[in-house]
Amino acid sequence: MKEFKKHKFKFSPYLERLYQSDEPLIVYKVDDGYNIYTHFSKKIILTNKNINKFFKSFDKKKYKKETDTMIGFFGYEILCNLIGLKIINQKKSNFYKGIFYKPETVIKIRDNIKIVSNLKNIKSRSNFQKTQISSPFKLNIKFSKYQKIFNFFSKKIREGETYQIKICTKYRNKSKINPINFFWRLMKVNSSPEAFMIKDKDYSIVSCSPETLINKKGSNIVTKPIAGTLKKLNGLNKQKALKFFKHNIKETKEHNMIVDMERSDLSKICRPGSVKILKKKFVEEYKHLFHYVTLVKGKLINKITIKDIIKAMMPGGSVIGCPKIRTLELLNNQENEDRNIYTGSFGYIKFNKDMRFNIIIRSILNYKNLSEISAASGVVLDSTAKKEFNENYIKAKSLLELFK
């Protein structure tokens, strides 16, 4: 929370006009503040047919300035398709499989505001959107249904088909939201390392994702698996949370499995012997919970492609389960609704092929006058259905509170 206050904004007429306009824009949390991307000259709607062309397009590009980047998201379904996994027999909302934008303006919000733009005489129409909530949230599955899925997956774990699996539940209501208002309110109470917001003409996403899946600079790559959640209670602090995680067999098993899996994912694209633990088993604090975290680094193989990196690392293992491919197959055959953006990835690819992507969790998707919040917790051999079901609510709580 201290970090947000450091960058608390003074009134900026330029930003206020932008916020109130109909201009599509993206706000992205960065290490020392926030970046706003807008005035998009390209908008690429990804499909299973054009995604390879999208990846190859970076081979012809040169990085000269900060606007030389594509920023956007991959949905869960297109990432599954990329690694050869089909999703069938699921109820679909027909939301986009992925969209990337080419910005012509980048606004850097630090202690001061700096505007980098390729445009002059920018004009936007005013189009203030008021939040309208038409119905309360409903959970897509009741506990009785969740327990049946839980029992099925627990059986698969005992049979050795998977070691951990994450069951997704969704909260949904009828509403239109002002995503900019929601995002800054969320940042005041639950600022997260990979938070972002997208506002476009027909949809919006507001996210306080904590997890960095890919941070690539040159040949160096870092990933930050998160596995382990503890509800905040009176008297708990980071030191006590760390002690809890270290002495809890279930949380330790879950964390070790996910770290090993993401090390394995990195090893597919990194030089032999270069994948190492950068920072081991520490705690991050959020509004309603503590997370158990590790940092892993590697050195990429020469001439590795963007597609190779995406296929190796996505969908992010920490929000799927272990082993990744078999677990994805089980999930896709058992879940009866599409995940849309949930457990996809948001981020950017620069024209020099540096990239940063998160895992899309702790997010609101507003589309066709519906808001959707998804959450999932990890089922391992020592799990109980009630605890994991309740953990999903804890993860969604800070987002649900925005609608009050």
Contacts within 8 Å (CB) and 24+ apart, 119-126: 119/39, 122/39, 124/17, 124/18, 124/21, 124/22, 124/23, 125/21, 125/22, 126/17, 126/20, 126/21, 126/22
Question: Would you give per-residue pLDDT tens digits along the chain (404 residues)?
Answer: 344 444 444 567 888 888 888 899 999 999 889 999 999 999 999 999 999 999 999 998 999 999 999 999 999 999 999 999 988 878 888 899 999 999 999 999 988 889 899 988 777 777 778 899 999 999 999 999 999 999 999 999 999 999 888 899 999 999 999 999 999 999 988 888 999 999 999 999 999 998 999 999 999 999 999 888 888 888 889 999 999 999 998 888 889 988 999 999 999 999 999 999 999 999 998 888 899 999 999 999 999 999 999 999 999 987 788 889 999 999 998 888 899 999 999 999 999 999 999 999 999 999 999 999 999 887 888 889 999 999 899 889 999 999 98
State residue 10's pLDDT score.
53
Please list the residues that pair with 174 across neighbouring strands.
370
Beta bridge partners of 196: 28, 207
Q: Whole-angstrom Cα distance, residue 285 to residue 186?
A: 15
CATH of the domain at 386: 3.60.120.10
Task: Give the 3-state secondary structure of residue 83.
Answer: coil
Residue with tokens 């090893």: 267
Stated pTM of the model? 0.92
Domain that holds residue 161: 2-403
Is residue 126 left, alpha or beta, with left meaning phi > 0 and alpha meaning psi from -120 to 50? Answer: beta
Q: What is the dihedral of CA 6, 212, 100, 314, to 10 degrees?
A: -170
298 with 270: CB under 8 angstroms?
Answer: yes
Total of domains in the chain? 1
